[in-house]
């Protein structure tokens, strides 16, 4: 299948309801409104294809960009490739659920995520913290530096309330993910979440949202989910 074939198939799968939802979350036209689950049969036909992924990502069409993340070959991507992708990720569903997820399947994930976290750019920071969430939820605890993660929890505690809006959400998720998926710092994450308390996240054209990592960690503890690791990062 070439890019044109994929675009035709995606367009045929588009639903107005999904399109409205994506746009309300920040997507810009062109958008078809394809449910992510509906993309799986096309992805199975293609499997991994980095050149095709690059072509689709460059279209600027939200659905095509999302699909590019599904068929990308992360191991063939360089830091420059990820910089290009994050520069094209104009809202959080691309930065956190396409670019960060794809980055999480590489050996350079922490290195690149660290740079993004330090960048001061809202969506890069958001993608960096999100990448750590994907990593922690999938890789063995032994792959991480406890000291480094402890320092990152401190950074969140001290800066989350003043962080850019979208970054707040990813930082909050980071505290939750450390609390659930990185057992050595479970207690520290619980302490951090309690110290942070509710985080107000302002949203364009929507009511402000209040994020509460402590409550979400407690729910996961009640369900016996501490130590949870997912088998795959990408669906």
pLDDT digits (tens, 9 = 90+) for 65-117: 999 999 999 999 999 999 999 999 999 999 999 999 999 999 999 999 999 99
Average pLDDT of 205-212?
90
Average pLDDT of 172-196?
98
What is the spatial distance between Cα 70 and Cα 41, in angstroms, rounded to a whole number? 11
What is the spatial distance between Cα 25 and Cα 5, in angstroms, rounded to a whole number? 27
Mean pLDDT of the chain: 97
Average pLDDT of 32-54?
96
Residue 58 has pLDDT above 70, yes or no: yes
Four-CA torsion 130, 36, 47, 134, nearest 10 degrees: 20
What is the pLDDT, as a whole number, of residue 29?
98
Q: What is the pTM of this model?
A: 0.96
pLDDT tier at 146, thresholds 50, 70, 90: very high
> Encoding tokens for residue 202?
């302002």
**Residue listed under structure tokens 């993340």:** 69
123 and 86 Cβ atoms separated by less than 8 Å: yes
Average pLDDT of 210-230?
97
* Cβ-Cβ contacts under 8 Å for 221 (sequence gap 6 or more): none
């Amino acid at each position: 299948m070439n890019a044109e074939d994929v675009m035709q198939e995606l367009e045929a799968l588009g639903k107005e309801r999904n399109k409205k939802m994506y746009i309300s979350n920040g997507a810009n036209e062109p958008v078809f409104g394809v449910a992510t689950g509906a993309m799986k049969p096309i992805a199975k036909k293609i499997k991994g294809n980095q050149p095709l992924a690059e072509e689709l990502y460059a279209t600027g069409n939200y659905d095509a960009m999302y699909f590019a993340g599904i068929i990308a070959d992360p191991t063939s991507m360089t830091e420059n490739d990820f910089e290009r992708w994050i520069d094209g990720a104009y809202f959080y569903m691309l930065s956190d659920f396409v670019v960060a997820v794809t980055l999480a399947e590489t050996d350079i994930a922490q290195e690149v995520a660290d740079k993004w976290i330090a960048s001061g750019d809202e969506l890069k920071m958001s993608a960096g913290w999100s990448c750590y969430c994907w990593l922690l939820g999938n890789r063995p605890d032994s792959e991480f530096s406890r000291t480094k993660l402890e320092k990152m929890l401190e950074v969140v505690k001290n800066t989350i309330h003043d962080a850019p809006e979208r970054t707040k959400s990813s930082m909050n998720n980071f505290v939750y993910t450390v609390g659930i998926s990185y057992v050595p710092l479970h207690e520290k994450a619980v302490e951090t979440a309690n110290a942070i308390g509710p985080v107000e996240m302002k949203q364009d054209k929507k009511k402000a949202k209040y994020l509460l990592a402590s409550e979400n960690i407690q729910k996961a503890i009640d369900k016996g989910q501490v130590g949870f690791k997912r088998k795959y990062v990408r669906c």
